[in-house]
Amino acid sequence: MRPGPALPRHSFSQTPTRPAPTDFTHAVIGGGVVGLAIAQDLARHPSRPQTLLLERHPQVGTETSSRNSEVIHAGIYYGAASLKTALCIRGKELLYALCAAHGVPHRRTGKWIVAQTDAQRAALQAIHDFCVNEVGVPVRWVGAEEAARREPAVRALRGVLESPTTGIVDSHALMMCLLGRFEEAGGTLALGNAATGEVSTVTAETVVNSAGLGAVDVHNMVVPPERRREMFYAKGNYFSYGAASPKVSTLVYPAPEPGHGGLGTHLTLDLGGRIKFGPDVEWVDSPDDLAVNESRRAQTVEEVKKYLPGLDETQLQPDYAGIRPKLGKQGAVAQGKGFVDFVIQKEEGYQGWINLLNIESPGLTSSLAIAEKVRTLLYT
């Protein structure tokens, strides 16, 4: 990894004209998986632009990108007209292709969404109909006999809806792949460089705010007070299972329920087959609150035992926590009701500035499609 030059701390110009000449064609703020995807995409443009990637930490991908479920989502939970749905579906295709082409570890595990009540069964039916009739995402019903044979440890009293295109990916290997593509294209990586309100000598024709947990702060330091936004921090605690864990080879999610800030406490796997449970939703005041809240263990056990009744809670260990940047506290539920969409837009009054806000789940899955969208905004 080449750290690039040590640069001064940076600010934005509020002048709606491009400076000339500039040090760089593009400056991308934020070296998480989305920022890396955007930076490598721009750097590889046929015009061969000079592209700068700014990351405030000593390494790339140390925030949300390395503290998530590492799930490749199918794109089934949000409204047909939403950016989340469109970019997740497109991003999933691009991500599987990139992983296959460059040897990034991944696996199509599939995912079961399980129902225990009539209300949850109705939620599954709504997801099924949405996928089949509106967005064309593959799903299938799993019968009781097949479910008992394939995953005997999993309880699904009122049905199982399978998403066969869901998978998992090694997020760290993915980010190293994207960083390698960026550097091979001649991009400049500047680690330990935060965007602030201070004056800087570094200039760029365009600026992409992909700062993740810091994106709203970057946005607010530039725009007038009446256009400022508020960030909410949804902490997700993860617990891992010990050696006595049951044999489960498929991701398992509870049916979505209104009012939940996420997709429920689900069972995911890493590429070594280790089982993790999470994330839950704990609203916190700071993005630095990254210690696992062990007081959430009892709630995690209660939620998981609904679909994994044989859970041995003595084998549950605190693992890690991540923070999801949100522009609201609404829960994500089927058919796009009650969630805040991705914000990816040219910022009015600031020529060459692309703002990305609320890039939470399914941000990792969508990262390459988000990069495509940013390139389109800049080059058309």
The residues spanned by each domain of the chain are: 107-167+231-333
Confidence band, pLDDT 50/70/90 cuts, at residue 16: very low
For position 266, what pLDDT does the model report? 93
pLDDT tens, residue by residue, 297-347: 999 999 999 999 999 988 899 999 999 999 987 544 333 445 789 999 999
The Cα 370–Cα 171 span in angstroms is 16
Q: At which residue do the structure tokens 């400056």 appear?
A: 27
Q: At which residue do the structure tokens 């800087």 appear?
A: 200
Distance of CA 363 to the CA centre of its chain: 3
Does residue 51 carry a pLDDT above 80? yes
Ramachandran region, residue 4 (left: φ > 0; alpha: ψ -120 to 50; beta: rest): left
Angle at 351 between CA 345 and CA 352, to 5 degrees: 65
Average pLDDT over residues 76-101: 96
Query: Does 22 or 140 have the greater pLDDT score?
Result: 140
CATH number for 107-167+231-333 (one of 3.20.20.150, 3.40.630.190, 3.30.9.10, 1.10.150.240): it is 3.30.9.10
Question: Which residues, including other chains, have CB under 8 Å from residue 368's CB and lie 6 or more apart?
Answer: 37, 41, 91, 94, 95, 98
The Cα 33–Cα 38 span in angstroms is 9
* 77 and 135 Cβ atoms separated by less than 8 Å: no
Does residue 66 carry a pLDDT above 50? yes
Average pLDDT over residues 52-81: 93
Does residue 261 carry a pLDDT above 80? no
**Cβ count near 359 (within 10 Å):** 30
**Cβ count near 108 (within 10 Å):** 12
Confidence band, pLDDT 50/70/90 cuts, at residue 183: very high
- What is the token pair recorded at 23? 């040090």
Does residue 3 carry a pLDDT above 80? no
* 57 and 192 Cβ atoms separated by less than 8 Å: yes
The Cα 112–Cα 130 span in angstroms is 16
Pairing of strands 71-72, 266-269: unpaired
Give CA torsion, residues 287, 11, 206, 372, to 10 deg: -10
Ramachandran region, residue 38 (left: φ > 0; alpha: ψ -120 to 50; beta: rest): alpha
Q: Which of 237-241, 287-291, 332-336 has the lowest mean pLDDT?
A: 332-336
The Cα 342–Cα 358 span in angstroms is 5
For position 256, what pLDDT does the model report? 84
Does residue 2 carry a pLDDT above 50? no
